[in-house]
Structure 1
Amino acid sequence: MSINEFDTTGHKCVKMLLKIRARMAELPAGEQLVVISDDPTSIYDLPAWCHLMRHEYVGYESDGSIYRHTLAVTADSARVTAGKVWAPPA
Structure 2
Amino acid sequence: MTTDPIRPADLTVDGTGLLCVTLLLRLRKQIEDAPAGTVVHVIATDPAAPLDLPAWCHMVGHDYLGPLPGSRPVYGIRLTANARATRADAPWHPASTSSRG
Structure 1 unaligned regions, length at least 5: none
Matched residue, 2:28: 21
Matched residue, 1:72: 78
User: Is the 1:25–1:79 contact (alpha carbons within 8 Å) kept by the matching residues of 2?
Assistant: no
Report % sequence identity: 31
Q: What TM-score does the superposition give when structure 1 sets the normalisation length? A: 0.82
How many residues matched?
89
- Of residues 61, 72, 81, the one that matches 1:54 is 61
Structure 2 unaligned regions, length at least 5: 1-6
Determine the C-alpha separation between the residues in 2 that align with 1:83 and 1:37: 20
Rg (Cα) greater in structure: 2
Q: What TM-score does the superposition give when structure 2 sets the normalisation length? A: 0.74
Pair 89,31 (structure 1): closer, same or farther in 2 beyond 3 Å: farther
Matched residue, 1:82: 88
